[in-house]
Amino acid sequence: MNGEAKPRGVLWAGRLAEKPGAEAFAFQSSLGVDRRLAQQDIAGSRAHAAMLGRRGIIPPETARALDGELARLAEELASGALAVDGGAEDIHSFIEGVLTERLGDAGRMVHAGRSRNDQVAVDFRLYLKEAVPGARDELGETIRVLLDRAEEHAAAVMPGYTHLQRAQPVTLGFHLCAWACALDRDRGRLGDALGRLDECPLGAGALAGSGLPLDREDTAKALGFARVSLNAMDSVADRDFALEIAAAVSIAMTHLSRFCEDLVLWASGEFGFVDLTESWSTGSSLMPQKKNPDFAELIRGKTGRAAGNLVTLLTLLKGLPYAYNKDLQEDKEALFDSLDTLRSCLRMFRGMLSAAVFNLGRMRAACTGGFLEATDAADYLVRKGLPFRKAHETAALVVRDCLEAGEDSIARRSLGDLRRRSALFDEDLYAALEPEACVKSRNLPGGSAPEEVARQIEALRRRV
């Protein structure tokens, strides 16, 4: 042993007489990250040991002893009675090391027909089978909060924007419902990835399977996998599941980031659409008046991490020769971070949104004065038989007339003035141009009419 490293459970001591020094050993150890997989590693070992016993590869009493000790280990780790010590190379070496310290040769039997390459693939998948539904539930919970707030404000008119220029009146409920639709797709993406990752690599060995009479169906079933993987080499080389989840998380974070950008704008004095409340804001160390939307900004900022983690994984895999390479050890830190980040950001976003106080008066006021009713004026003429292109031009000329006359709304123009542009304009135009009327008229599927938004909310509620 070179230097002071005397790690528990180095699994390859037979081959290498010289060992890395302490710093080098620590550099290649993944224990700090994969200690999170301890329970999954134990579950995998229990299934594997029981199968080895059933197949007569190890004596039945050895299988029983292994199972008992592994169960004890799981409890001790959960209660903190046993600490994962820093000396092991990874969680797999640590667990096998403890087993061997406690059981001697029985501990040395557990790895028959197995490699850390299939073991880590199993552990990682088992972990994700728990963690990803958790993230999905957080998305569902966030959608529910959005829908509650959307329902509350289904009829509250506000400007809808394109190019960040006021475009047409919508409702706050409609806008929040749009956000919920995006998060619903994120749930779907995570669900799709879960379906594909639900296969058991155990039995793939290092890369080529095993000559021992393992029963792969047995371990897959014991671990709750839907099926065994098809090809051993693919099973240890594949990290598509990590990529898919990192991509889905990155998309979800990008959604949150965009919502937060809206909130940051809305919370500004210039918009004044929302008060994010004092408990969801922070102050300035210098400027006494400040109340900053830091939570929204930080969620937006953390989106960079999720994108970075996805790029980390893509870069890790690009150019990686088949099958396993130690590079793959870097996969877990990136994906753990993505999932942790998404979950904490969803919790913060929910809290902030539940508390937010919307300034409905400011939103309503912002619907007048920006010609948001111009499309409805054109549609009015279309309803009266004018070809749309002509109707568009007429409404545009009316807008120009208003601007020249210093008027900020088509509704403020007299009927006489309007009729100089088209004889089709009539008294009923004024009612049609009220923001509430504009919104109400868009009652087709997907539209912003309150009763249609209620239907959208209902559809989303059914999905979550």
Task: Give contact residues for ligand ARG (rule: CB under 6 A).
Answer: 30, 34, 90, 116-117, 120, 324, 326, 328-329
Closest approach of Cβ 13 to ligand ARG, in Å?
A: 14
- The CB density around residue 135, as the number of other CB atoms within 10 Å, is 23
171 - beta bridge partners?
A: 157
Long-range contact pairs involving 419-424 (C-beta distance under 8 Å, separation at least 24) = 421/394, 421/397, 422/381, 422/386, 422/394, 424/380, 424/381, 424/384, 424/385, 424/386
Tokens (6 digits) for 411: 């509704």
Q: Which of 248, 181, 34, 23 is nearest to 122 (CA)?
A: 34
Closest approach of Cβ 286 to ligand ARG, in Å?
A: 46
Residue that the structure tokens 């499309």 belong to: 375
444: CB partners within 8 A, 6+ apart? 452
CA distance 357 to 299: 19
Q: Which of 137, 139, 174 is nearest to 155 (CA)?
A: 174
CA distance 418 to 401: 9
Please give the biggest Cα pair distance in the chain: 100
CA distance 412 to 299: 42
Choice between 12 and 388, CB closer to ligand ARG: 12
Q: Which residues are catalytic?
A: 163, 284
Choice between 231 and 325, CB closer to ligand ARG: 325
Closest approach of Cβ 34 to ligand ARG, in Å?
A: 6
Element (H, E) at 320: none
Closest approach of Cβ 291 to ligand ARG, in Å?
A: 45
Choice between 114 and 442, CB closer to ligand ARG: 114
Choice between 117 and 210, CB closer to ligand ARG: 117
Closest approach of Cβ 306 to ligand ARG, in Å?
A: 21
Choice between 115 and 281, CB closer to ligand ARG: 115
Q: Exposed, middle or buried, 270 (CB in 10 Å: 0-12/13-18/19+)?
A: exposed
Residue that the structure tokens 């993987």 belong to: 229
Residue that the structure tokens 């098809």 belong to: 230
Choice between 120 and 242, CB closer to ligand ARG: 120
Q: How far apart are the first and last CA of the chain?
A: 57
